[in-house]
Every structure is written in C-alpha cells, then in structure tokens.
C-alpha cells in the first residue's frame, strides 16, 4: 500500500451532516456497507430523510470517529 492509502481522511466541520457516500469514503467501505452500518448503529446520530436517504450528524460522527472506539 502506498502512503496515501494508509492516511485517514481529514474530517472538517464545513456542513452539518454527512451523506452515505462521504461516510463510505471515510470508513473505506462500499456505499451499501456504509448504509447498512449507519442503519444499524447507535454510535452516532443518523436521520432518515426519505425512504432511502440518510443524513449522518457530523458532530456526533466526528466525536465517535475521533474517540477511536471503532
């Protein structure tokens, strides 16, 4: 693996929520796996905005991510 693959993505507070696509990129998993994970987790706040649309609260996700308790 090269150095870029080992680096964790930088997380910023530019917006209030993440999309599933952004969570998939951060967690380095498929969008389908990220969607399943977010639908079944109690580690951070996930809001359903429609039958298939999720938004992940950025502050709660970042707190979970930065705590290292993955």
Instruction: Report how far residue 61's alpha carbon sits from residue 70's, in angstroms, rounded to the nearest whole number.
Output: 11
Q: Which domain holds residue 58?
A: 15-67
Q: Is 26 among the domain residues?
A: yes
> Looking at residue 5, what is its pLDDT?
61
Mean pLDDT (whole number) for 1-17: 65
> Looking at residue 15, what is its pLDDT?
74
> Looking at residue 13, what is its pLDDT?
53
Q: Is 6 among the domain residues?
A: no
> Looking at residue 65, what is its pLDDT?
94
Q: Is 56 among the domain residues?
A: yes
Q: Is 51 among the domain residues?
A: yes
DSSP bridge partners of 55: 47
pLDDT tens per residue, range 10-66:
655 567 999 999 999 999 999 999 999 999 999 999 999 988 899 999 999 999 999
Number of structural domains (the chain) is 1
> Would you put residue 6 in left (φ > 0), alpha (ψ -120 to 50) or beta?
alpha
**CATH code where residue 49 lies:** 1.10.10
Q: Is 10 among the domain residues?
A: no
Instruction: Report how far residue 14's alpha carbon sits from residue 18's, in angstroms, rounded to the nearest whole number.
Output: 10
Instruction: Report how far residue 35's alpha carbon sits from residue 37's, in angstroms, rounded to the nearest whole number.
Output: 5
């Amino acid at each position: 693996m090269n150095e870029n693959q080992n680096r964790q993505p930088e997380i910023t507070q530019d917006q209030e929520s993440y999309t599933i696509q952004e969570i998939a990129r951060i967690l380095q998993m498929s969008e389908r796996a990220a969607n399943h994970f977010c639908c079944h987790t109690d580690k951070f706040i996930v809001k359903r905005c429609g039958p298939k649309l999720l938004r992940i609260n950025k502050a709660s996700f970042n707190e979970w991510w930065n705590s290292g308790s993955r």
